[in-house]
Every structure is written in structure tokens, then in C-alpha cells.
């Protein structure tokens, strides 16, 4: 180790230059950038408030943003390609790691696609269990968003309070799946295991206090004049523009478009639950913030209704042994079960050479899966259209003409997760 002598590796390094030429930016930044009238500034990929590894190239006139070019891919993991080399059920494990704030939603969307492709039924009870998990994940994701969004804007304490609640949800996930974050709990045909008794107790106590905690967050932010000053009128996106740019989820509803896939095109039995879809008016940062806050209350309502409907005992996974491995207890008793078990865990099940498309409402927006089988046991192609990808693409529309300090608010308000964007 060399403390006193200068770093050798830096000595013969050239000063870092921006690789790539201005030429390739022709047509993307304004003409004034080429004469040096406006400034090109790089932000990220290592930046405290870009929520991960987003890089944006800003064209600035003073402090005003003239143009903005997001650059993603710093977290491109090749998940889609990796799933093509795995059996269907094993691919579920990889989907967790895409949108790591809402792993259950990713599992669910992929399982839904598999179920549609092979025409597999899901028991009623498993659907209710899925809804409970999905809504818990939604709360979980919104809590992280709330904490980091507020932290970016200088409100440290919200982050600490939000994470106390989040820990409770993670503990519950651990009770049912054995993992805090990467649960892989949803499987084709249902869920992995039944809810445990302690999960019910923990969920009950969580639901009884959580709404009052959201009130607490609201007291810290909703009417806070500083918060309002920094968020209202910033990052406005008109409903028509938002639709054309493929913005979805809370960011779209912030512009006042009443579109929630859970309501409009229900899946997994969402049509049986009563809930409202909060809508904004102005499409600014504040509206998007407030909608997510209200959505947390709605999620609590959905979970309560689901808990009422959920029988404590019953099937939690399909009985179709062509696709679903038998439970362990059966292996000792039945030869057939052993055969199915062996077949499903070595070779996997086959799916037809055809394509399906499903879309679900993830906490961030419309998450859709395109799945193409080969006729064999591995998929030919999986493609995830992820909401963060579309939202980052739409970021230039929202932030033109704003100050550079507002960009942090805008990035926070569209709730991007770079793992979700780059996959």
C-alpha cells in the first residue's frame, strides 16, 4: 500500500475525456450547443439523486435545461437473454431482480404469461393470496419511493420513518418466502407455499397501524409550504403527451387520465375488490406524489377485503401435475409423484411455439411481458416492457425549460428504478 506516494495508476492516465463526438448528437441537441453558446453537462451515472445509475446529458443555458438526453444501460443485466436459456419455472428467479422494489409484481407478470401460454389454471385462493402480496409490494415500493424522493429534496426524516414501515413488510415477506427482498414467491400455477400463521398476525397488526403512519407522512409533506414550493408546477406533462409517450401508472394518473389496469382490464380477480383510483389534475410533481400517497391507503383497503375473503386453509397452487411439481410429502407415498417431480425439475415442462402478451399494473405503471415459446422447455424470447424505460424516455418532455435543481424533483417523481429500466 502506498499512502505517501501518489497513486501510480493515476500517473500515466490521460485526463478523462468525453468519449464520442459531438457529431452523433446532431439533431438531438440544439444548434447553439455546437457554437458553444449553451453548455453540455454530464450528470451521473454516479450521482446521489439519480436513483441508481442513470446518466443524463444536459444542455444548459445558464441554469435552464434546454435539452436533456438520458443515457441508460449501466445496469443492463441481460435478464431477457438469460431467461431464454432457462426453463420456464427457473426463469421466475431472475425476474425478481429486474424491478427490485417490486419483486412480486415481476414474478407475477412472468407467471401470468407462462400460465397463459400453457393454459394453466390458478386456484381461487391462490389468486387472493397473490393479490395480498401484490398490494403489499405496492406499499413497499411506494415507501422506498417516498423516502428517497423526500431525501432528494432535503427531507431526511421521512426516509427514516418510511423505512421503519418497510422493514415490517420485508419481515412479512421473509415469513412466507424465506427471503426479504428477492422472494420468488409466485410460481406458475399459484404461489410457492401457504401463508404461515405468524404472517397473518403480523399482517393484521401492520394493517391496523399503517394508515395512521401514512397520515404521519402526510403531516410532514402534504401541506408543507417548502415541499409545495418545490413540487407544484414542476415537471408538467399534459395527458395527451403522456399517452403518446407511453407514460403509465401513477405518472399518467397524475395528469388526470383514469387508467388503471387493475380496474380497466382486471386480472387475478381484481374486479372483486372495491377501491378507487386516485387522479391528479395538473400532472406536476406534486400530483404524482399525492397520488402515490393515496394509493397506499387504497392498497390497505384491498388487502383488508382480500383477507376477509381468504379461507385459512385450501389449495394455494394448481394441481395440474403436468406443470406443477407435487408437494414433498407426496413423494414418499406415490410413484407417480416421484416421476412428475423428477421430470419437472430436470427437464421442465414444454410450451407451444406461440406467443402471448400480458400486462399488469406494477407500482410504477404498466409492466408487460411478451413471451414466445419454442415448443420445447425453454422460451424463445421474453421481452419485458417496463414502465421505468418509458418514463425515462419521456423525461425530456417533462423537464425542458426547468431549472437544473428541479430535475431532481422530476426524476424522483416518475419513480424510476434503473434495474427495471435496463433489465
Q: Binding to ligand SF4 (CB under 6 A): which residues in 152-191?
A: 182
Q: What is the DSSP letter of 389?
A: H
Lookup: cell for 104? 412480486
Residue among 141, 108, 56, 93 nearest 417 (CA): 141
Tell me which residue has its CB nearest to ligand SF4: 97
Is there a contact between 119 and 189 (Cβ–Cβ < 8 Å)? no
Site string for ligand SF4, 51-90 (x = CB under 6 A): ----------------------------------------
The 8 Å CB, 24+ separation contacts for 13-16 are none
DSSP conformation letters of 131-149:
HHHHHHHHHHHHHHHHHHH
331 binds, among other proteins, ligand SF4, none (CB under 5 to 8 A by kind): none
Return the residue of 32, 86, 97, 385 that touches ligand SF4, per CB under 6 A: 97
> Applying CB under 8 A, does 208 fall inside the site for other proteins?
no
With residue 358 as reference, give the H or E element that holds it.
strand 355-362
Size of the site for other proteins (CB under 8 A): 87
Whose grid coordinates read 417516498? 146
- Residue 97 C-beta: closest distance to ligand SF4, Å: 4
213 binds, among other proteins, ligand SF4, none (CB under 5 to 8 A by kind): none
- Residue 99 C-beta: closest distance to ligand SF4, Å: 11
Q: What is the CA radius of gyration of the chain?
A: 24
Site string for other proteins, 235-274 (x = CB under 8 A): --------xxxx----------x-x----xx---------
> Applying CB under 8 A, does 121 fall inside the site for other proteins?
no
Q: Binding to ligand SF4 (CB under 6 A): which residues in 271-300?
A: none
Q: Binding to other proteins (CB under 8 A): which residues in 359-418?
A: 359, 366, 368, 370, 372, 374, 380-381, 383, 385, 389-390, 392-394, 418
- Residue 335 C-beta: closest distance to other proteins, Å: 33
> Applying CB under 8 A, does 9 fall inside the site for other proteins?
yes
Distance CA 80, CA 103 (A): 16
With residue 80 as reference, give the H or E element that holds it.
helix 79-84
Of 79 and 252, CB closest to ligand SF4: 79
- Residue 242 C-beta: closest distance to ligand SF4, Å: 31
Lookup: cell for 34? 455546437
- Residue 16 C-beta: closest distance to other proteins, Å: 7
With residue 67 as reference, give the H or E element that holds it.
strand 64-71
Q: Binding to other proteins (CB under 8 A): which residues in 81-120?
A: 81-82, 84-85, 93-94, 97, 100-101, 116-117, 119
- Residue 158 C-beta: closest distance to ligand SF4, Å: 25
Question: What does each C-alpha distance from 292 to 134, 280, 413, 415 come to in angstroms?
Answer: 15, 10, 10, 10
Lookup: cell for 282? 395538473
State the Cα torsion 83-88-92-93 to the nearest 10°: -70
- Category of 176 on φ-ψ map: left (φ > 0), alpha (ψ -120 to 50) or beta: alpha
**Length of the chain in terms of residues written:** 423
226 binds, among ligand SF4, other proteins, none (CB under 5 to 8 A by kind): none
CA 359 to chain centre: 13
- Residue 334 C-beta: closest distance to other proteins, Å: 32
With residue 410 as reference, give the H or E element that holds it.
helix 404-413
Of 262 and 423, CB closest to ligand SF4: 423
The answer for residues whose C-beta is within 8 angstroms of residue 120's C-beta and 6 or more apart is 114, 188, 189, 318, 320, 323, 324
Site string for other proteins, 42-81 (x = CB under 8 A): ---xxxx---xx------------------xxxxxxxxxx
Return the residue of 138, 147, 177, 412 that touches other proteins, per CB under 8 A: 147
- Residue 332 C-beta: closest distance to other proteins, Å: 31
Residues found near ligand SF4 in the complex (CB under 6 A): 97, 182
Amino acid at each position: 500500500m502506498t499512502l505517501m506516494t501518489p497513486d501510480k495508476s493515476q500517473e500515466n492516465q490521460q485526463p478523462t475525456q468525453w468519449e464520442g463526438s459531438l457529431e452523433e448528437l446532431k439533431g438531438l441537441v440544439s444548434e447553439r450547443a455546437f457554437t458553444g453558446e449553451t453548455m453540455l453537462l454530464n450528470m451521473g451515472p454516479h450521482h446521489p439523486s439519480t436513483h441508481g445509475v442513470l446518466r443524463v446529458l444536459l444542455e444548459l443555458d445558464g441554469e435552464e435545461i434546454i435539452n436533456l438526453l438520458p443515457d441508460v444501460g449501466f445496469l443492463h443485466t441481460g435478464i431477457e437473454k438469460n431467461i431464454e436459456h432457462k426453463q420456464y419455472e427457473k426463469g421466475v428467479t431472475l425476474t425478481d431482480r429486474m424491478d427490485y422494489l417490486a419483486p412480486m409484481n415481476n414474478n407475477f407478470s412472468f407467471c401470468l404469461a407462462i400460465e397463459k401460454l400453457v393454459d394453466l389454471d390458478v386456484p381461487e385462493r391462490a389468486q387472493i393470496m397473490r393479490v395480498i402480496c401484490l398490494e403489499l409490494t405496492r406499499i413497499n415500493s411506494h415507501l422506498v419511493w417516498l423516502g428517497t424522493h423526500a431525501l432528494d429534496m432535503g427531507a431526511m426524516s421521512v426516509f427514516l420513518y418510511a423505512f421503519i414501515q418497510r422493514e415490517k413488510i420485508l419481515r412479512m415477506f421473509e415469513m412466507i418466502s424465506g427471503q426479504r427482498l428477492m422472494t420468488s414467491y409466485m410460481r406458475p400455477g399459484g404461489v410457492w407455499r401457504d401463508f404461515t400463521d405468524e404472517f397473518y398476525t403480523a399482517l393484521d397488526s401492520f394493517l391496523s397501524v399503517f394508515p395512521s403512519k401514512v397520515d404521519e407522512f402526510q403531516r410532514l409533506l402534504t401541506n408543507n409550504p417548502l415541499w409545495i414550493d418545490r413540487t407544484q408546477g414542476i415537471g408538467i406533462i399534459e395527458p395527451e403527451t403522456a399517452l403518446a409517450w407511453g407514460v403509465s401508472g401513477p405518472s399518467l394518473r397524475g395528469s388526470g387520465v383514469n387508467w388503471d389496469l387493475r380496474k380497466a382490464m382486471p386480472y387475478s380477480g381484481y374486479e372483486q375488490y372495491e377501491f378507487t383510483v386516485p387522479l391528479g389534475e395538473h400532472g406536476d410533481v406534486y400530483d404524482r406524489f399525492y397520488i402515490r400517497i393515496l394509493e397506499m391507503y387504497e392498497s390497505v383497503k384491498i388487502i383488508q377485503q382480500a383477507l376477509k375473503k381468504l379461507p385459512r386453509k385450501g389449495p394455494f397452487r394448481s394441481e395440474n401435475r403436468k406443470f406443477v411439481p407435487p408437494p414433498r410429502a407426496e413423494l414418499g407415498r406415490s410413484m407417480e409423484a416421484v416421476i412428475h417431480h423428477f421430470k419437472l425439475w430436470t427437464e421442465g415442462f414444454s410450451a407451444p411455439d406461440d406467443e402471448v402478451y400480458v400486462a399488469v399494473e406494477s407500482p410504477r405503471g404498466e409492466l408487460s411481458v411478451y413471451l414466445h415459446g419454442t415448443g420445447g422447455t425453454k422460451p424463445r424470447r421474453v421481452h419485458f416492457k417496463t414502465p421505468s424505460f418509458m418514463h425515462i424516455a419521456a423525461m425530456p418532455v417533462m423537464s425542458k425549460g426547468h431549472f437544473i435543481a428541479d430535475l431532481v424533483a422530476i426524476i424522483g417523481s416518475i419513480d424510476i428504478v434503473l434495474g427495471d429500466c435496463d433489465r
